[in-house]
Structure 1
Amino acid sequence: MNGFPWSEVMAFGLGVMRLPPGAFWAMTPRELAAAHDGVTGRKGAAALARYDLDALMALHPDGERE
């Protein structure tokens, strides 16, 4: 897994939305995601169903190393 996509997020918030830096850095990730959805017309990914989460947890249990 790569790190958080800071370049893309900052390009969207500061470039596309033209937020002042103070407003951008004061936003929560949820607020920024909602703004992104509003600008792009897309809705964020739905939460996992419990059985999907259970299946992922069974495949990748905590504390084990490969």
Structure 2
Amino acid sequence: MTALDWPALMRAGLQGLGLRPAEFWALTPAELRVMLGERSGAASLGRDGLEALIRAYPDSQERAEDV
């Protein structure tokens, strides 16, 4: 995990977006990134990815055999 550049994020949120301190601190880093216009991120989980997770982490033995 990389460290967050809090001074830069605070400048962007408080000065750039005009947020009040309480509004800034109520945001998650992901929410702040979206507000700042960041469009990239992890792709949503598709059907193939879900099925792979189900196979890797079955709820029970019966479920693992059904998939």
- Determine the C-alpha separation between the residues in 2 that align with 1:46 and 1:35: 17
Task: Give the residue type in structure 1 aligned to 2:40.
Answer: G
- Determine the C-alpha separation between the residues in 2 that align with 1:10 and 1:44: 21
Paired residues, what number? 43
Q: Which sections of structure 2, spanning at least 5 residues, go unmatched?
A: 44-67
The answer (yes or no) to whether the contact 1:14–1:21 under 8 Å persists in 2 is yes
Using the TM superposition, give the Cα deviation of residue 11 of structure 1 relative to its aligned residue in structure 2, in angstroms: 0.4
CA RMSD of aligned residues (A): 2.0
Task: Give the residue type in structure 1 aligned to 2:5.
Answer: P
Matched with 1:24 is 24
- Determine the C-alpha separation between the residues in 2 that align with 1:35 and 1:14: 12
2:14 is the alignment partner of 1:14: yes
Q: Which runs of 4+ in 1 moved over 4 A?
A: none
Deviations along 1:33-65, one digit per CA (max 9) or x if unpaired, are 11011xxxx523456xxxxxxxxxxxxxxxxxx
- Determine the C-alpha separation between the residues in 1 that align with 2:31 and 2:3: 20
2:40 is the alignment partner of 1:44: yes
> Identical aligned pairs, as a percentage?
36
TM-score by length of 1: 0.53
